[in-house]
Structure 1
Amino acid sequence: MLMNILRENVTNIRQTLLLAKADLIKYYKGAALGYLWAFVKPMVTIAVYLFAFQVGIRKGAPMDGFPFALWLIAGMLPWFFISDAIVAGTMSIRSYRQFVTKMKFPISTIPSFVLLSKLYIQLGMIVAIALIFVSYGFYPDIYYLQLLYYVPTMLIFFIILSWTFGSLAVISRDFENLVKSSMQALLWMTPILWNIDNVSSPTLKFILKLNPINYFVEGYRDIFLYKKWFFEGRYSIYIWLLIIVLAIIGSIVYKKLHKEFADVL
């Protein structure tokens, strides 16, 4: 079944790209600010956290020798895509139920084009954040090339995750609600707003680093701040092994449930 899903996605790649564009247009259609909302919402979120931490908690103290604002922004940048990808991927098949119930359609491509539309926003955010770094005197360098690794890897990871989450959400609305309600907890449990180096227990630190979201957060910070290559650590091998495992699990779940989609929806 895994090969069937992969073949279906590769065969319909042109259609997926067109539907991703249509999904993006649909999401912001009718809004007065249009696509600007894709940037306004994240920037407001960053501003709120900066105020809370710099004025209240940290009182402007730097993080690892870098301005705390830049350290926070670099970690929040992938989170905006990750949070949207998890929720949208979970809701994707149910949101496009007409493709499941009223026509013959490659259902496994639905999470792909939905998450690809979120990726377009992430690419625009990367440009905006890079300009903020330039204003602080941090200019693009060769380490920015790693975006060509982290961004596609992040997209692949969450598309594969959506095979499981999207399938379960079709069968159970409770699962969809569980995912939505868990996002805030996931944000605080991931070292995005706090530094994982402050964890004193080596065992706990190792467990926290196994969180795949942390891999992408650290990756972005390595690009913008720490200037490290993705192959310098051991977790790149781990993340690709995890992708393979999740792909197998996702294909099994999808195979067991996809025949029931039309009846449930």
Structure 2
Amino acid sequence: MNYVLSLGKEIIEKRKLIWDLGKADFRKRFVGSYFGIVWMFIQPIVTIAIYAIIFGPAGFRTPPPVPGASYVAWLVAGIVPWFFYSEVLNTVTNCLQEYSYLVKKVVFKVEILPIIKLMSCLMVHGFFVLIMLGLYLVTGVAVRLTWLQALYYTFAASMLALGIGFFTSAVNVFFKDMAQIVSICIQFGIWMTPIMYHESMFTDRIPWIGTVLKLNPFYYIAAGYRDSMLTGNWFWERPTLTLYYWGVTIVVFLAGLKMFKRLRPHFSDVL
């Protein structure tokens, strides 16, 4: 616990450095690219278009799970946080190799490197949230006070991804295949979460499938974003799921940080 408090104090003291490095990391993604920041949106938009065609009116004709909202509006509310979550996992896992020159500096606290990557991903996520809000305003989705709750669910997703990221980034220094394992798990993860499909596709025939899906912590984030953006429900209306999510997230975060602390003395030797 002292280590967690020490990290929190370090984050507060070096918040300006973290912010500046996060902005620099964000800009670095597009250095040398002709279209620059445009590429940040192309792949996610194409992905949304593909899923909308497959599961929308031209494909399996999945009925809109939320009355008054189109399938695309429902899909976007689930997939935008997934883009953020998966990007954090991918970038944080490789952050120690990418910033190896900082890891080798004795005076630099390497625990803030995953947080720098998180800040960079949050900037990208902010753009996507604005696009999502613009889409809803154009298509006539009712403006709700619960839209502000997206900040809470973004924070919740950040803590889970950061906890996993502390573990995977530390292990990846010694076991380079970890980055590939994370990538494969992300590909499975999007299908293990009802993002493109509604859970009723399975629970109507096999009721216990709903319980299995809810064991996936990201279920809480996807459902929470949809509660916030489309149905107007608050997070405390899912008390059991909220307690379960934060219980799992706290355990994952502490375990990931413990692994990071244990392996940290050996980072500079390997890198």
TM range (shorter): over 0.9
Following superposition of structure 1 onto structure 2, how do residues 147-166 of structure 1 map, counting pairs within 5 Å?
147-166=150-169
Q: Hey, what's the Cα distance between the residues in 2 that align with 1:240 and 1:61? A: 32
Following superposition of structure 1 onto structure 2, how do residues 1-265 of structure 1 map, counting pairs within 5 Å?
1-54=3-56, 57-59=59-61, 61-65=63-67, 66-102=69-105, 104-200=107-203, 201-233=206-238, 234-265=240-271
Scaled by the length of structure 1, the TM-score of the pair is 0.93
How big is the shift at 1:157? 2.3
Q: For 2:243, give the aligned amino acid.
A: I
Sequence identity, in percent? 29
Q: Hey, what's the Cα distance between the residues in 1 that align with 2:122 and 2:170? A: 21
How big is the shift at 1:35? 1.5
Scaled by the length of structure 2, the TM-score of the pair is 0.91
Q: For 2:248, give the aligned amino acid.
A: L
**Which sections of structure 2, spanning at least 5 residues, go unmatched?**
none
Q: Hey, what's the Cα distance between the residues in 1 that align with 2:142 and 2:40? A: 24
Q: Hey, what's the Cα distance between the residues in 2 that align with 1:157 and 1:60? A: 30
How big is the shift at 1:175? 1.2
How big is the shift at 1:32? 1.5
**Which sections of structure 1, spanning at least 5 residues, go unmatched?**
none
Conserved 8 A contact 2:159-2:253: no
Conserved 8 A contact 2:55-2:197: no
DSSP-derived class of the 1:193 partner: coil
Deviation string, structure 1 residues 148-196 (Cα, Å, up to 9, x no partner): 3112222222222211111111111011111112221111111111112
Richer in helix (by share): 1
Q: Against the structure 1 CA distance between its residues 64 and 139, is the aligned structure 2 distance closer, same or farther, given a 3 Å change threshold?
A: closer
Q: Against the structure 1 CA distance between its residues 60 and 180, is the aligned structure 2 distance closer, same or farther, given a 3 Å change threshold?
A: closer
Q: Hey, what's the Cα distance between the residues in 2 that align with 1:118 and 1:255? A: 23
Deviation string, structure 1 residues 108-142 (Cα, Å, up to 9, x no partner): 00000101101111111111111111111114221
Q: Hey, what's the Cα distance between the residues in 1 that align with 2:40 and 2:228? A: 23
Q: Hey, what's the Cα distance between the residues in 1 that align with 2:63 and 2:157? A: 31
> Over the residues paired in the alignment, what is the CA RMSD in angstroms?
1.7
More moved, 164-173 vs 236-245: 236-245
How big is the shift at 1:214? 1.2
How big is the shift at 1:85? 0.8
